[in-house]
Structure 1
Amino acid sequence: MLQDADVSNADRLRKLFHNEEKRMKFRYTMVAAALCTALAAASGVAHAQTIRVANQGDALSLDPHSLNESLQLSVTGNVYEPLVGRGKDLSLSPALATAWKQTSPTVWRFELRKGVTFHDGSPFTADDVVFSFGRAAGDGSDMRSYTNDIKEVRKIDAHTVEIETKAPFPILPDVISLVYIMSKKWCEENQALKPVDRRKGVENAASFRANGTGPFRVRERQPNVRTVFARHGGYWGPIESNATEIVFTPIGNDATRVAALLSGEIDVMEPIPVQDIARVNAGANTRAVTGPELRTIFLGMDQKRDELLYSNVKGKNPFKDKRVRQAFYQAIDIEGIKRVVMRGASNPTALLVGPGINGFLPEQNKRLPYDPEAAKKLLAEAGYPNGFEVTMNCPNDRYVNDGQICEAVAANLSRVGVKINLQAETKGTYFPKVLRRDTSFYMLGWTPGTYDAHNALNALVRCVDDKGSGQFNLGSYCNPKVDELTMKIQSETDKAKRAAMIKEAFDLHAADIGHLPLHQQSLAWGVSKKVKLVQLADNFMPFKWMSITN
């Protein structure tokens, strides 16, 4: 349990670093004090086999079905496992299933790994698989976009299950690679039968404790302070790591996080602020590990309500008018954001998927031109010659320079007469708000968990239903023709036909200005020269591939 002293220290330090520009004089003198709270316990146990990892935010829960967010799934993916996992090249690899095959166009059979136990020692069986898929598809789950086209998961015997889909689904193994398996017995005993609903703020035992089959188990959990992972001695497979424990610490302040790496207080950090990459590379004992990321950052707009929740326009919804959506698009100086905010570490995009995702076509990736005058004309034609006001919701600790990007967008839109009331906040309050669609204009980032365009179409573009279709289509964009194509893409096995349908779906979405794509951000991890690790383009950080030398 968090001590009172720790709470007070954390509060005091957050206040000190709340506005770095105003308090630059504290940047270095207070680093040691800032780390006192975040890393005190870590320093007491630090040794050659302890790896200390810091991130700008924390996993909001240990429940693997509660939030479909990369950091959440990366952290819990060290504790829980899917049936089908990913290798170092992101190709499919056996995890809790050793083999899988289609027995009919709509049925997949999975042979489960024998001799696997959960961290509490209980055996892993088909009952846990059936339970976990039901839990992931149920109320409160944030993972339903991965299960919405599954008709039934059934037990054949103790180590065999079948998954039947509503229609032929040749990429099912890719789709379920982020559906983590929980212990049915543990969930029953701990009243955690349903996942935590982040929209409602509901918590249960699975929020703070975990019982998976993965290579690391949770030994200590202090939300927003630190989480300690211990090596699971009974793991079913080899662990390519010499770490006996991983200490994960959220350090929200960029300056503090970088200083902690440079001083050796932590061994790995993510992300490096783009302006500090050269400094980390120049450190005597540190290096920056960089690379392209599969995530696309975009903006969404409420296109369903007859009147926006947060706007001075009454009696109608400006975003239902394509001309307004296009005006917003053309008012955004994406090259300016790349140059000034991202310091060149981004790739502007016209699509919701980028390079590395199956279905991405470079020739399709052509943005509408940045043209403020054209934007003003479109707004006037739509009946808003003087613009209007609208609130924009953004996180400020989830994506690279997310708060600054939103500030730049607000400034761009002000030049065409749109007043943005920017509400930037920590992801702990941001995600519950936007996930319940309590927003008019918002930022989101998306990495297709299947590394296939179907995932983005199904989760972000498809018309919203109560089964998980369009679960993250938070502005409720809807085009029945796109939906029809998405269903065909799901079932099509001919690669050329499938690629043509993906292209058509994205062409329709682009013509509608369904969302406002911004860019793919770049990965930048700060790493001690003593640490060896694997950087994946999905920004997951598997501890099992992380080692440290003396």
Structure 2
Amino acid sequence: MTSSSTPLFPASAVKWPALAAGALLALSGCSVANSEAAPASASALRVVLGQEPPTLEACESNLTSTGVVVRSNVTEPLVERNPQTGELEPLLATEWKATSDTEWTFKLREGVKFQDGTPFNAEAAAFTINRAVNSKLGCNVEGYVFGDADLKVKAVDDTTLTVTTPEPDPILPLRLSFLEVVPTSTSTTAKVREPVGTGPYKIETWDAGQKITLTSWDGYWGDKPAYARAEYQWRSESSVRAAMITSGEADVAMGLSPDDNMGELGVDYPNNETVALRMEATKAPLNDIRVRQAVNYAIDKEGIVNSLYQGKHKVAAQLVPEGIVGHNADLKGWAFDLDKAKSLVAEAKADGVDTSAQISLVVRSAQFPKITELAQVLQEQLSQAGLNVKLKMLETSQHLTYQVRPFPDDEGAVALMTQHGNQAGDAAFTVDQYMLSTGAQSYFGTPEFDAMIKKADAASGDDRKKGFEDIFAYQNDKVVQFAHISHQTGIIGKSKSVNYTPNSSSGDELRVSEMTPAS
């Protein structure tokens, strides 16, 4: 985020006509069909990632490893959020308004086709919502954005779509910005590995374990992108990714570390990612709040930020950084107090808690720079507090089984390393999935906490902001599902041959169409 006062939802969401599409697109630098032509297509842009995407399925595109390739490159949503201003802007929808307390009406862009030649229309938009939100497909975006709520959708005509929510939802257009639209030919019984979309690039090849290649699509409704192709490779070590930039083997490298010492080839950006441990409360010893508090006291967050990340990250006290609606500026990170941690563990043990029971520290390999070193530090620090911690380093597909419900039930207590990014700018997208009792990425909650969350979800303006601020404070005081560690700063490696300024969304959707060859 670049602003500390992100708007809840723009005027475009409540007036009809909602906005002047051409003017807003011009301001944001987005493409429109009749705007100035882009420069002649260049050769391929070479991007190196930290890991191979597990899938490019559109309804999984809120996963960073998937979205960084597919979002706004292969597929597009109805509306998009400008990461600089926080405003919602038109894309496949040109106008929208609330037509009742629970109904929103969207006007859709005409003349758009999918990469298989079929037309984009209200039927396709309704199909996408039903497939991702109302089905049993188990899409990650359903839990992340919509929770348990089903939506009623209706294609009124080719260019008019209505969406009805079970209860008033003041941020429905913002939620829909996470749904990448797919044609009605897409399977509804299985997730697809390679989606068809309306974006400026289509998937040419995916050589498993080697490379993904996107190629510019001639039928795109907007401007032709500058690069004719985008080629993605992956290397787990950030030092290797950095070396590929300096040696000329790659043009853009994601997820670099301060230790890579890239100089002017390394560009810092606010990536909105927060690192934390998510703890379950159903099994000993983490089923005792004193042990979860001890975990927080045992972690030397200042030391981690300074020693592993050269002070570029910030100690975190909550799951969202400054700039997100609901961020509580009054919260401070838990103090590092090993004696206090030991005392709490001893107190729990004296009351019969099995503090010797194993805690599995589950960590995803190559998720972000220095994650292995961070995991080892956490294991050591928690062990010093008197806890029995076993480190489990897993690949992406294995880690996902711990990340999203239903969680594994065949082992003891789990503390999961979580890297959470809120690109939407509103705390609901964090709280609903991570803190509700039934949240897709929540281990537990309480009825009182659920009521607080639902009340904040339905509020707007200052009441919404205050509601979420109170939720983050309550989590730290009464629930303690999380041990927050740091708010990250992202680093992209960029060749001098590429013009591109990363923003707070770049780590989740790297828009190739925003890149041009340097003159």
TM-score bracket, normalised by the shorter chain, equals 0.7 to 0.9
Alignment of 1:301-320 (within 5 A): 301-304=279-282, 308=283, 317-320=284-287
Q: Conserved in 2, the CA contact under 8 Å of 1:85 and 1:94?
A: yes
Residues 48 and 549 of structure 1 are in contact (CA less than 8 Å); yes or no, is this contact kept in structure 2?
no
SS at match of 1:525: strand
In 1, Cα distance between equivalents of 2:359 and 2:124: 46
Which of the numbers 231, 248, 258 marks the counterpart of 1:247? 231
Partner of 2:11: none
The reply on whether 1:537 has 2:504 as its aligned counterpart is yes
Contact 1:321 1:382 in 2 (8 A): yes
State the Cα distance separating 1:116 from its structure 2 match.
0.5
Aligned to 1:70: 64
Contact 1:88 1:534 in 2 (8 A): no
Query: What residue is the counterpart of 1:259 in the other structure?
Result: 243
Question: What is the 5 A alignment of 1:141-180?
Answer: 141-145=139-143, 146-148=145-147, 149-180=149-180
Counterparts of 1:135 and 1:404, CA distance in 2: 40
Distance (Å, rounded) in 1 between the aligned partners of 2:493 and 2:154: 44
Asked if 1:86 corresponds to 2:81, the answer is: yes
Equivalent AA in structure 2 for residue 405 of structure 1: L
Partner in structure 1 of residue 263 of structure 2: 281
Q: CA deviation digits over 1:267-293, x for unaligned, max 9?
A: 1101222201x3x216xxxx1110222
Q: Structure 2: which amino acid aligns with 1:455?
A: F
Give percent identity, aligned residues only: 25
1:37 corresponds to: none
Distance in 2 between residues matched to 1:249 and 1:103, nearest whole Å: 46
| 2:481 maps to 1:514 | yes
Question: Could you tell me how far 1:86 is from its partner in structure 2?
Answer: 2.7
Q: Distance in 1 between the 2:499 and 2:161 partners?
A: 37
Return the TM-score normalized by structure 2: 0.85
* CA shift for structure 1 position 128: 1.1
Residue 407 of structure 2 is aligned with which of 426, 432, 437?
A: 437
CA distance in 2, matches of 1:83, 1:522: 29
| 2:95 alignment partner AA | A
CA contact (8 A) 2:254 2:491 kept: yes
Please give the alpha-carbon distance, in whole angstroms, between the structure 1 residues aligned to 2:99 and 2:285. 50
The structure 2 residue matched to 1:335, chosen from 296, 302, 312, is: 302
Map 1:401-550 onto structure 2 (within 5 A): 401-435=370-404, 436-438=406-408, 440-464=414-438, 470-473=439-442, 476-493=443-460, 495-511=461-477, 512-538=479-505, 539=507, 540-549=509-518
- Paired residues for 1:186-201 under 5 Å: 187=186, 192-196=187-191
Greater mean deviation of Cα atoms: 374-383 or 57-66:
57-66
Q: State the partner residue of 1:357.
A: 324
**How many Å separate the matches in 1 of 2:422 and 2:446?**
20
Q: Give secondary structure in 2 for the equivalent of 1:367.
A: coil
Q: Write out aligned runs for 1:104-123 (5 A).
A: 104-123=100-119
1:67 CA drift (Å): 5.9
Distance 1:130 1:397, change over 3 A: same
The DSSP-based 3-state class of the residue aligned with 2:89 is strand
Pick closer, same or farther for the CA change 1:255–1:104 going to 2, 3 Å. Answer: same
For the residue of structure 2 that corresponds to 1:123, the secondary structure is coil
- Of 217, 222, 226 in structure 2, the residue corresponding to residue 237 of structure 1 is 222
Q: CA deviation at 1:211?
A: 1.0
Displacement of 1:499: 1.9
Counterpart mapping for 1:33-52 below 5 A: 48-52=42-46
CA gap 1:84/1:483 in 2 versus in 1, 3 angstroms? same
Could you state the TM-score of these two structures normalised by the residue count of structure 1?
0.81
CA distance in 2, matches of 1:325, 1:91: 38
SS of the aligned residue for 1:98 comes to strand
Shift of 1:195: 4.6
For residues 338 and 88 of structure 1, what CA distance do their matches in structure 2 show? 25
Letter in 2 for 1:164: T
The CA distance in 2 between the partners of 1:429 and 1:274, in whole Å, is: 28
Q: Within 2, Cα distance between the matches of 1:229 and 1:341? A: 35
Separation in 2 of the partners of 1:437 and 1:74? 25
**How many Å apart are 1:385 and its aligned residue?**
9.0
Shift of 1:150: 4.2
Q: State the shift of 1:463 in Å.
A: 1.2
Contact 2:274 2:419 in 1 (8 A): yes
Residue 213 (str. 1) matches residue 194 (str. 2): no
Give ranges in structure 2 of 5+ residues lacking alignment: 1-40
Q: Distance in 2 between matches of 1:505 and 1:271?
A: 31
Q: Deviations over 1:140-175 (max 9, x none)?
A: 211113233343111111111111111111111111
Q: Who is 2:28 aligned against?
A: none
Counterpart secondary structure, 2:276: strand
Aligned residue identity for 2:94: T
Q: After superposition, what is the alpha-carbon deviation per residue over 1:305-352, rounded to whole angstroms, capped at 9, x for unaligned?
A: xxx4xxxxxxxx221211010011100111111112222221111111
- The alignment's C-alpha RMSD in Å is 1.8
Distance 1:417 1:548 in 2: 55
Change (3 A) 1:339 1:488: same
Q: Deviations over 1:389-446 (max 9, x none)?
A: 3221101211232222111110101111213110112223222344341272211111
Give the unaligned 5+ runs of structure 1.
1-46, 197-205, 309-316, 465-469
In the alignment, structure 1 residue 389 sits paired with structure 2 residue 388:
no
Equivalent residue letter for 2:418? L
Match of 1:17 in 2: none
Report whether the alignment pairs 1:129 with 2:95: no
Distance in 1 (alpha carbons) for counterparts of 2:215 and 2:355: 59
In structure 1, which of residues 222, 232, 248 is the aligned counterpart of residue 207 of structure 2? Answer: 222
- Whether contact under 8 Å (1:133, 1:153) holds in the other structure is yes
User: 1:450 corresponds to which letter in structure 2?
Assistant: A
Q: CA deviation at 1:507?
A: 1.7
How many angstroms apart in 1 are the aligned matches of 2:427 and 2:372? 27
Shift in CA distance, 48/181, structure 1 to aligned 2, threshold 3 Å:
closer
